[in-house]
Amino acid sequence: MSDLLSIGASGVRANQTALGVVSENIANAGVTGYSRRTITTTEISSASGTTGRATGHGVFVTGVTRAADQFKAAAVRTAGADLARTEAGGVWMDRIQSSLTGAGLEGRLTAFFNAAKGVAADPTATAPRAVMLEQANALAASFTATGVALANATAELDATADGAVASLNSLSAALAKVNDGLSRVTPNTNAAVNLADQRDAILEQMSGLVDVTATYDAAGRATVRAGGGAGTTLVSGNQVATVSYARNAQGTVAFAVTSGDTVSVLAPQGGALGGIADGAQRIAGARIELSELATEFVAGVNAVQAGGRTLDNVAGAPLFTVGDSPTDITMTMTDPRGIAAAAPDEGTRGNANLAALENLRTSARFEGTIGNMVSTNAAAIQARGVVAEAQGAIHDGAIAARDAISGVDLDREAVDLLRFQQAYQASSRVISIARDTFQTLLDIR
């Protein structure tokens, strides 16, 4: 009779634990990163001394497990890293586009050369010359503003990179603490599964910053590598490496990983760091191309000036001056009479020298160059948007596949709630019957 009581009591305890786990699942149904819990149970049995057959003595709870598939979780991280790189790179492409178009450089170039045609039509009139100087001044300001915008984009990229690296280092440190916790807790306990949820959530956040791969030991501690292939180790047990960011004068960025006395290079293939590296390369390319355009323009226009004669029949002086950077352009000339419209053999009333300016416009294709920069970048933005849309769908699909295993299904939990409730009541009934029977036997005696 005591066996019947212990069997009923073990059933009550097991089903009470199961009800608590189901309740926890229901309460956390909408919590991001929460994995569904279940209990594992084992029969309490012993072999009979006379028959050798196993005799049941009830059930006990061996632990709490989480519904998780590490392969599907890894697929989410991979898809997330790809999407994050594309989106982060797109931010800087948009920044380049706004920098190239914000100051209206292409239109200012056109207005300047058209103003020169106005001077050629009436080389002795002061008004067209004044207009040309006004357009030249506006063009110089446009070159400067465009260069400053791209320089500001570079500075913003540096700040973003520093912030992303700081976040990655913070997440690595947090993961190391979780690893340390996993080494201390008893497996298959609530504490262990909670730490495993935290571990996977941190890994997913890390994948938004850089492509990571993770391996696990028997305790569930993660060793994390970043950068594709064999990668560079960021976290191993409770040991953490530190990531740093640097950019050289040519715009090339580099990420270094320091672990003790060892320094290695991190080449991000995904995540925000990968997008930052892409963006830095594109911004650097745009700045170089713009600087070359500005240098050729100023040198060409000033050379045309030097080859002609002004209204005062003197050799033309430079129209523009360049500052610390090729795009830092200011006006040298302020007197409209100083525009060298005439060729040396024409006197002061000619306009042949402005033909050389028009030839420079045609051969150097200043407007076409800046227009091509804008259109090429716009096409790249559009293509990247298509890629991002596809990667977003892949990422959503990976999340759905993972959540189909680890997510909480309220319909299933409702069924389990009823099942364990009935089992709990049945076990309680076993105890009640055993007690009544035992009392009846006592009364008979």
pLDDT in tens, 166-188: 999 999 999 999 999 999 999 98
Residue 392: partners with Cβ closer than 8 Å, 6 or more residues away: 83
Residue 283: partners with Cβ closer than 8 Å, 6 or more residues away: 92, 95, 96, 150, 153, 154, 157, 251
Q: Return the higher-pLDDT residue of 442 and 310.
A: 310
Q: What does the alpha-carbon distance between residue 172 and residue 417 come to, in Å, rounded to a whole number?
A: 38
pLDDT in tens, 29-43: 988 889 999 988 888
Domain spans in the chain, listed from the N-terminal domain onward? 2-67+407-444, 69-406
Whether the pLDDT of residue 431 is over 90: the answer is no
Q: Return the higher-pLDDT residue of 437 and 248.
A: 248
Whether the pLDDT of residue 2 is over 70: the answer is no
Residue pair 395/79 in contact by the 8 Å Cβ criterion = yes
SS3 letters for 88-122? HHHHHHHHHHHHHHHCCHHHHHHHHHHHHHHHHHC
Residues 376-403, mean pLDDT to the nearest whole number: 96
User: Which tokens go with 81?
Assistant: 């890293």
Q: Which of 51, 22, 59 has its CA nearest to residue 38?
A: 22
Residue 111 to residues 299, 340, 441, Cα–Cα distance (Å): 19, 18, 112
Residues 64-86, mean pLDDT to the nearest whole number: 94
pLDDT at 149: 97
Beta strands in 197-280 (DSSP E): 212-216, 222-226, 232-236, 239-240, 242-247, 253-259, 262-266
Residue with structure tokens 């409770």? 238
User: Which tokens go with 222?
Assistant: 């993660």
